[in-house]
Amino acid sequence: MTAYDPQTDKLKEECGVYAVYNIENAAALTALGLHALQHRGQEACGIATFDGEDFHVRRALGLVDNTFSKASVMEQLPGSRAIGHNRYSTSGTPVLRNVQPLFADLSFGGLALAHNGNLTNAYGLRQDLVKSGALFQSTSDTEVIVHLIARSKEEKFEARVVDALKQVEGAYSLVLMTRKKIMGVRDPHGVRPLILGKLNDGYILASESCALDIVGAEYVRDIQPGELITIDEKGMRSSFPFAKKPSRFCIFEYIYFARPDSFMEDKSIYEMRKEIGAELARENPVEGADLIVPVPDSGVPAAIGYAQESGVPFELGIIRNHYVGRTFIEPTDKIRNLGVKLKHNSNRKLLAGKNVVLVDDSIVRGTTSKKIVEMVRDAGAKEVHMRISSPPSKHSCFYGIDTPEDSELLAHNHSPEEIADIIKADSVSYISLDGLYRAVGQARRNSDDPQYCDACFSGEYPIFLTDREEKHDKMKISRLKEASK
Amino acid sequence: MTAYDPQTDKLKEECGVYAVYNIENAAALTALGLHALQHRGQEACGIATFDGEDFHVRRALGLVDNTFSKASVMEQLPGSRAIGHNRYSTSGTPVLRNVQPLFADLSFGGLALAHNGNLTNAYGLRQDLVKSGALFQSTSDTEVIVHLIARSKEEKFEARVVDALKQVEGAYSLVLMTRKKIMGVRDPHGVRPLILGKLNDGYILASESCALDIVGAEYVRDIQPGELITIDEKGMRSSFPFAKKPSRFCIFEYIYFARPDSFMEDKSIYEMRKEIGAELARENPVEGADLIVPVPDSGVPAAIGYAQESGVPFELGIIRNHYVGRTFIEPTDKIRNLGVKLKHNSNRKLLAGKNVVLVDDSIVRGTTSKKIVEMVRDAGAKEVHMRISSPPSKHSCFYGIDTPEDSELLAHNHSPEEIADIIKADSVSYISLDGLYRAVGQARRNSDDPQYCDACFSGEYPIFLTDREEKHDKMKISRLKEASK
Amino acid sequence: MTAYDPQTDKLKEECGVYAVYNIENAAALTALGLHALQHRGQEACGIATFDGEDFHVRRALGLVDNTFSKASVMEQLPGSRAIGHNRYSTSGTPVLRNVQPLFADLSFGGLALAHNGNLTNAYGLRQDLVKSGALFQSTSDTEVIVHLIARSKEEKFEARVVDALKQVEGAYSLVLMTRKKIMGVRDPHGVRPLILGKLNDGYILASESCALDIVGAEYVRDIQPGELITIDEKGMRSSFPFAKKPSRFCIFEYIYFARPDSFMEDKSIYEMRKEIGAELARENPVEGADLIVPVPDSGVPAAIGYAQESGVPFELGIIRNHYVGRTFIEPTDKIRNLGVKLKHNSNRKLLAGKNVVLVDDSIVRGTTSKKIVEMVRDAGAKEVHMRISSPPSKHSCFYGIDTPEDSELLAHNHSPEEIADIIKADSVSYISLDGLYRAVGQARRNSDDPQYCDACFSGEYPIFLTDREEKHDKMKISRLKEASK
Amino acid sequence: MTAYDPQTDKLKEECGVYAVYNIENAAALTALGLHALQHRGQEACGIATFDGEDFHVRRALGLVDNTFSKASVMEQLPGSRAIGHNRYSTSGTPVLRNVQPLFADLSFGGLALAHNGNLTNAYGLRQDLVKSGALFQSTSDTEVIVHLIARSKEEKFEARVVDALKQVEGAYSLVLMTRKKIMGVRDPHGVRPLILGKLNDGYILASESCALDIVGAEYVRDIQPGELITIDEKGMRSSFPFAKKPSRFCIFEYIYFARPDSFMEDKSIYEMRKEIGAELARENPVEGADLIVPVPDSGVPAAIGYAQESGVPFELGIIRNHYVGRTFIEPTDKIRNLGVKLKHNSNRKLLAGKNVVLVDDSIVRGTTSKKIVEMVRDAGAKEVHMRISSPPSKHSCFYGIDTPEDSELLAHNHSPEEIADIIKADSVSYISLDGLYRAVGQARRNSDDPQYCDACFSGEYPIFLTDREEKHDKMKISRLKEASK
């Protein structure tokens, strides 16, 4: 249930967002909420508050509790309103100026903003803005939105926001804070999640429901695709200012990104994963299996589902060391080869002589799968079968998930049989796309107009990839490299 | 499989030790080994190496990889021999001068030493030593051993060590390093574990076998109670210099302290725990149970065993947040009350309306159990039964485990029925002492001469508590408080 | 020769700037240059480089050598071109986003810029820019210049710079760096210094000549008021694009701000100060004086001049502790009262029974003068006369020097006689304004059109104070407070 | 008046000590006192306090105010009694376990101790102690004293201290603190200084009187050679428990080590230095001299004395940058050659065409003198004469001053004429030994029994160099190297 680690060959979720309106100690609640959303971004985090007079902000590299567990920091973030953000950086060393929430001093007052998702026409918009004299302080696509709000000819703040968002394409769940209000908005396709909660007289917006539970807040509902929520002293209002588009929620949230204790669209993520595991067992049984072993920790719910459906015992055949925080120094090749043991160890006695079914949620490059299979074989397993609770990952995501190029995705170029050869497994099978849709409650995938965004499996991108098509990569952002310690 | 956290009401293991002889990059291997033993002590760690000329040491507060993942540190620890140590501090703020390995410049040359366990006559010995002019640099019981070695009238180093250890009482697994050799020794009762491994032409001593796996070393055997191992350029030698005493290995290592992927006495910890869970199910079934839910993470293997034996589904009804590293700032009572959610969250949909069996390995003060039960009830469970995979924890440990006073142990003063009332569970049951012995492979507990140390359950202490009986607490060590940042 | 310290009651210089063109290791030279200019700003510093491909920047709080003496930092600043900046922050805790050099990604490529001085119409310009959608990332006046350059309709970069600077009022010495060139420019009045140096085939721009000496560069000349220097692969070019205005170099640079080993307008600062001291002795002799004692360290050159002119011995009657770096914890009133001794101590034997002439360069609020006089009296001095090598400081500076409000300046409300009473001196005298002009080489002060900016003494401000007059303080910048550690 | 810097070719004083009895906030006073004594040791410092119940200690690398200006540190050092210490480390990287005050838990209670000086028979004593089982925690000679106190057969604490000190040889000024008392003691020759002060009802012991001035305490008198002072609730007592020996106060304290505002033996250091400068002028005049220029900052008082005696103007021909804190990164040879400018710059206009007399207090290896002369010549000086306010430094000190081996001392192997050639000066002259004695108030040096320790000039060592003679360097301390970050 934890997020990406390069050593485990998982994709990275882009971000988590959080907002609090009218609850005492809003920064502390936001810190707790971001902590619960830590799996959605571990490289940087930030909180902005408004205390009725001034805005306050703290942005930092590293995990939430590195910074926001310090009394000295929290004292500097007063107020009953706040927004917060977790992120990872898409390339190179993360730099502080890209960390959100962004803040701007606009003509009508201050604005803080945090974004989960990715815009697909940001480069083009940026190019135009820079030509007309706009100064960008970051390289993030999110700043484009702030400039568009700043330059909007509309008078009212909400109208400015709508004006700005009508110009952008891509996936976004945003939270915004001004001197008067908190706002939340999801893009018309609803690719990224955003939910609404309530605590006493206050409101909370969050990427996932687990971030409500941590503070004892009540889950109210999901924000709808294309919905704009405004919360101020007059209460909460909802509007749908954009042209209606078909819903395309990211199906990978069910498979891997979201925490198993979260709800999305009224469904328990844990139960969805067990159901996916059960469907996987029905589609891809293993004859003579002795044990169902999850690849920890994300594979556990699907493995439980697989085990219950197949009647084969669920066992912890691989033990994870929970203390891995950073990459170890590995000064010689001899030690470097020990790599994978840093995170996992096999449960030798259990595996020796057995027909083992490993359950994992995805294979990206396959590097870790290969090590895991090797470790299980070294422990004496007779057969090792890999079962994957997602369809083959064949295409890059441009809507907020950091993915290698298509060509680096193992399944882009190889069949399951070839992959089995590569990772030295006796067999490798994936759940089918239709099986996945069945498991999450659809009769079948509607092939003309799929109910979810499944572009990473199908290659069918629901939102136009403008920057990519227009080859905006020819346009260079002047590279400023910030020296770090 | 993780160790103590005050928030989870678990006991703390005292220490982990490690030693490497004749393997290139001994410090790196030791860092990896200590990393695998991190659950045995998270508050401080240290590594000493010998490079054929000089000794090198680095001791630090915090987790192993905070310090020993830095190239700049590792470069300063050259050599193919090393010893290392993980610890927690028994009281107050941990201070660096108590962190091991200890080092001393003796008349025959340098000596580094690391200790897992606790001496029961250290105060008295210290009092005598101070009276005769010994200067102590720490408040740890371990330093007594170093002084006794330094003052021994024996000529040969091994004889000095034996001379010193004959004067001490208590539990100890020690590793020592001189200019010539590495030594390992277990106390005559063998309370604390110590195992021997081999990697190419080199040797490794470690508290647990998982610390061999991480570096790809081969498990050779457990060091025997009362055995002294010496490794030098002539190879490895074994001797049994102490009067033979009955073996009393700590049975709690099986229940909770050791990592589930370790072996001890040729037994898989994971399988022992499953077997304990199965025995618990046989002794204490729950009628009409819908789900077996482990209290994560340490309760998982016993819960799997319980579920397999009872035929009731195993489910992750409680999700743990893996990012909790430090205590959060909780500035108001309102937020403080949210406490437990920092680590755990319930899986609401799964639990609603169900008869839930929670499996945990121990109840110390009961504070966390109460919160867990409350959380499960809040999620809508119909019934909540707590099953504990150890007998009631009624007595303090004086052999290396940090335990509250007897009077603070919930089971010291309360029956299981009373405990059920206190933690608001529908029922609470523990495995019996005989059931526990059966589960770990004995026909029954030999009541005249128990096969294990089970003093925390039975109150029968196999090693005399000299300091405690002689009221040495009247003797004060001059308190030096080191100011920290 | 050191700069402001609140404990010594000195004014603060705003900034130092530096630029390097075509010299290997430009960042290292810039670090050395900023080190030599450390007295012009101790609270923050930054260096930007261009390596032919990318820009690199590092900005940090604290002294230059805290950050730029680290190899790990310098390695990240490659290139043979660089600009740098020292600053102090004008209010509150210094924040990183206000630290220069500023960097912007403009339509024609990257731009880095550093500024010494202060604009007097920045608020108004900022208000207009924000209204038209500009996003400011800092609260510094300097950023206005960057926005004006970005929005200029001119095509060529130099024309854009000129277009922008024609809109600003105030004092500025700027250095700029683009992918092609380095530029330096002084405002038409030439209030702040900027000099040109040469090292082999490369060029250097710096606030003072001591920053050339430190790297062994040759002093070429002062940049002229209103002059724009451009250095690129075609060499160096000079232009005067602004309407000609009368020169108004800051006369306080001679008195206090500049380092005594610097030259300005071909004059040695040390010799100017000695000459000022000599003039002070002629104007304000002390009958029966036994000793001339400088208030260390800035009063030394004037005291030497005073002593040589008067024939009274120069003596170190007050010793300065060079180790004072930060304010000491002073937990009780009793200790707080010891304050001044942290920096200075009297030379008791020397002073006892003597008629002492103290020479200092300025009195701002008078707090330190009072303590110094008291300390000298406590040492047994018979008489204590204070001689000040500047005219009375009566008016605030708005051109780049941090000054208290007029009402807080002791001389704004009090005559020298009253000041003598307040600081318990036997007499206090200042050099006259005409005397000061004579000392720096003018026949007299031209009262219609003074040769220097002496607004802090005369109240005659050569550049219009637009923001102040237009009460732009009504216009609020949305306050964003960045939480620090 | 500052202490050693390798870049300035000065010797290093070993230590400063401080003790406070019965003054509220003793730690804060000690921090101030150590700050005033910072020139006596910049690499590490420590403070121990006693609050009536517990001892508290904080030891740290770096300058006093790095650590002891933090409220969080000072809060942890309660009590009205304290001792403190400044030190530099004699070799290699300084390590924390060598930082004083040392603390020991002895049979009669705690003991804290700080030492200025150096023992000349410490190795031999250590060897004996280790042979009998003593454990050393540091490599410092001071710890020998603690062991000897711990092992003394005497009953009373004072008798133990005397017993211990009778066994050691060398130079020492010690302060000690127990639960009952503060003690101060100087070795029978009185090589290192120690003075007594009073503040209200409390007492202070300090290495120099400037450390009394900083806290407003009154100078009472110098502790006498061989005197032992005890301060407890019964007041202050003095005794002379050692055999009487001739006084041998370190004459270099007058020349360089002590701060110019301190008194020693009732003499003002500043006035002594001026007198030495005047004597130097009488012994070694320079015909046709235009300027007397001090090498800053330590040469200033002697230069003033030289200038006053010779009637030649005193001028600041060399300006020191006060911001140099650490060595700059100098990545290329080209930049490395700029080295000396980091600290000093010449005042070109002043020096051009002049006959310049440089006054410095010592030449150790001559490296800096060479750079200074070159810099002055580069500024256009016609002639450059070097005058040194000490006799030639020909011999190492073994009594507490870190000195290169004899063979590395420039004057050990070269005449003044040869030195002039080496450093490219027109002439080099030193004050004579007799001249020095005259300047400090003696009719002449008593050659049979010199009034001061002048071993570094004369080679006549007043205290036997036992370790050196007995070749104890053959005896190796097991080298433990502590890894640092």
Sequence-distant (≥ 6) Cβ neighbours of residue B62 within 8 angstroms: B43, B44, B45
Beta bridge partners of C427: C385
Cβ contact D480–B136 (<8 Å): no
Q: Express as a percent the part of chain B with pLDDT over 90.
A: 76
What CATH number belongs to C268-321+329-440? 3.40.50.2020
Residues of B taking part in catalysis: 15
Cα B370 vs. chain centroid, distance in angstroms?
A: 25
* Helices C367-378/C416-423 angle, 10° precision: 60
Q: How does residue D330 score in pLDDT terms, banded at 50, 70 and 90?
A: very low
Q: What is the pLDDT of residue D420?
A: 98
Beta bridge partners of A114: A175
pLDDT (tens digit per residue) in C229-238: 999 999 999 9
Scanning the structure block, which residue is given the tokens 């204490």?
A: B284
Helices (H) and strands (E) in chain A, counts: 18, 26
What is the average per-residue pLDDT within B302-316? 98
* Mean pLDDT across chain B: 90
Give the whole-angstrom CA distance, residue D414 versus residue D393.
11
Q: Of C71, C64, C66, C3, nearest to C30 (Cα)?
A: C64
Q: Of B50, B58, B8, B52, nearest to B31 (Cα)?
A: B58
Q: How does residue D324 score in pLDDT terms, banded at 50, 70 and 90?
A: low
Take residue A35 and report the two structure tokens written for it: 């902590």
Take residue D445 and report the two structure tokens written for it: 């040096």
Q: What is the pLDDT of residue D2?
A: 28
Architecture per CATH, domain B6-248, reads as 4-Layer Sandwich (3.60)
Give the whole-angstrom CA distance, residue C60 versus residue C326.
18
Q: Which chains touch C (3 or more CB pairs under 8 A)?
A: A, D
CB A230, CB A21: distance < 8 Å: no
Q: What is the pLDDT of residue A97?
A: 76
Give the whole-angstrom CA distance, residue B158 versus residue D111.
34
CB B348, CB B321: distance < 8 Å: no
Res D1 pLDDT > 50: no
With an 8 Å Cβ cutoff, the interface of chain A facing chain C consists of 53-58, 70, 72-73, 76-77, 96, 103-107, 109-110, 130-137, 143, 146-147, 150-152, 179, 477-485
Architecture per CATH, domain A266-321+329-444, reads as 3-Layer(aba) Sandwich (3.40)
pLDDT (tens digit per residue) in A163-219: 999 999 999 999 999 999 999 999 999 999 999 999 999 999 999 999 999 999 999
Amino acid at D302: A
Res D5 pLDDT > 70: no
Pairing of strands C344-346, C318-320: antiparallel
Q: Of C63, C61, C96, C68, nearest to A59 (Cα)?
A: C96
Beta bridge partners of A55: A50, C480
What is the average per-residue pLDDT within B327-341? 52
Residues on chain A touching B330 (C-beta within 8 angstroms): 28
Give the whole-angstrom CA distance, residue C456 versus residue C120.
16
Residues on chain D touching C342 (C-beta within 8 angstroms): 32, 35, 214
Pairing of strands B480-482, D55-61: parallel
Residues on chain C touching A179 (C-beta within 8 angstroms): 478
Among B105, B131, B136, B167, most D C-beta atoms within 10 A, so best to mutate, is B105
Beta bridge partners of D116: D173
Scanning the structure block, which residue is given the tokens 């007399």?
A: D357
Q: How does residue D329 score in pLDDT terms, banded at 50, 70 and 90?
A: very low
Q: What is the pLDDT of residue B92?
A: 44
Residue in chain C lying closest to D312 (CA): C308
Q: Please give the CATH topology (third level) of the domain spanning D270-442.
A: Rossmann fold (3.40.50)
pLDDT (tens digit per residue) in D286-323: 999 999 999 988 899 999 999 999 999 999 999 988 77
Cβ contact C479–A54 (<8 Å): yes
Q: What is the pLDDT of residue A217?
A: 94
**Three-class secondary structure of residue D249 per DSSP:** strand
Give the whole-angstrom CA distance, residue C267 versus residue C58.
34
ipTM of this complex prediction, to 2 decimal places: 0.89
Q: How does residue D481 score in pLDDT terms, banded at 50, 70 and 90?
A: confident
CB B175, CB B183: distance < 8 Å: yes
CB B57, CB D482: distance < 8 Å: yes
Task: Delimit the domains of chain C by residue range.
Answer: 6-248, 268-321+329-440
Residues on chain B touching D136 (C-beta within 8 angstroms): 104-105
Res C329 pLDDT > 50: no
Give the whole-angstrom CA distance, residue B366 versus residue B357.
17
Per-residue CA distances from A264 to A206, A271, A272 (Å): 11, 11, 10
**Three-class secondary structure of residue C458 per DSSP:** helix
Q: What is the pLDDT of residue D484?
A: 63
Which run of H or of E encompasses A437?
helix A433-439
Say which range, C109-123, D8-22, D226-240, D332-346, has the weakest mean pLDDT.
Answer: D332-346
What is the average per-residue pLDDT within D450-465? 95
Give the whole-angstrom CA distance, residue C114 versus residue C142.
8
Q: What is the pLDDT of residue A444?
A: 93
* Mean pLDDT across chain D: 90
Give the whole-angstrom CA distance, residue D188 versus residue D166.
10
pLDDT (tens digit per residue) in D217-239: 999 999 999 999 999 999 999 99
Q: Touch between chain A and chain B (3+ CB pairs, < 8 Å)?
A: yes
Cβ contact B347–A308 (<8 Å): no
pLDDT (tens digit per residue) in C341-383: 677 899 988 999 999 999 999 999 998 899 999 999 999 999 9
Take residue B472 and report the two structure tokens written for it: 């040495």
Q: Of A123, B190, A116, D321, nearest to C35 (Cα)?
A: D321
What CATH number belongs to B268-443? 3.40.50.2020
Ramachandran sector of residue C84 (left: φ over 0; alpha: ψ -120 to 50; beta: rest): beta
For B311-326, give the DSSP string.
Answer: TPPB---EEEPTT--S
Sequence-distant (≥ 6) Cβ neighbours of residue D169 within 8 angstroms: D119, D120, D121, D463, D464, D466
**Three-class secondary structure of residue B274 per DSSP:** helix
Q: Which pTM value belongs to this model?
A: 0.87
CB A468, CB A462: distance < 8 Å: no
Q: Of B269, B261, B268, B264, nearest to B214 (Cα)?
A: B261
Res B328 pLDDT > 70: no
What secondary structure, in 3-state letters, does A257-323 show? HCCCCCEECCEEHHHHHHHHHHHHHHHCCCCCCCEEEECCCCCHHHHHHHHHHHCCCECCCEEECCC
Q: What is the pLDDT of residue D92?
A: 43
* Helices C157-167/C142-151 angle, 10° precision: 130
Catalytic site residue A15?
Answer: yes
* Mean pLDDT across chain C: 90
Q: Express as a percent the part of chain D with pLDDT over 90.
A: 75
Residues on chain C touching A110 (C-beta within 8 angstroms): 478-480
Cβ contact A322–B2 (<8 Å): yes
Res B258 pLDDT > 50: yes
Q: How does residue C1 score in pLDDT terms, banded at 50, 70 and 90?
A: very low
Alpha helices, H only, B168-242: 210-213
Per DSSP, D189 falls in state T
What is the average per-residue pLDDT within C83-111? 81
Amino acid at D277: G
A 10 A CB-CB count for C424 gives 12
Say which range, B13-17, B345-349, C131-135, C310-314, has the weakest mean pLDDT.
Answer: B13-17
Q: How does residue C450 score in pLDDT terms, banded at 50, 70 and 90?
A: very high
CB B64, CB B31: distance < 8 Å: yes
Q: What angle do CA A287, A288, A294 make, to 5 degrees?
A: 85
**Which parts of chain A sit beneath pLDDT 70?**
1-8, 11-13, 89-94, 324-341, 471-479, 484-485
Among C316, C351, C359, most D C-beta atoms within 10 A, so best to mutate, is C316
Give the start-end residues of each E strand in A295-421: 318-320, 344-346, 355-360, 383-388, 401-402
What is the average per-residue pLDDT within B415-429? 98
CB A317, CB A350: distance < 8 Å: yes
Q: Of C367, C378, C345, nearest to D215 (Cα)?
A: C345
Give the whole-angstrom CA distance, residue C46 versus residue C84.
6
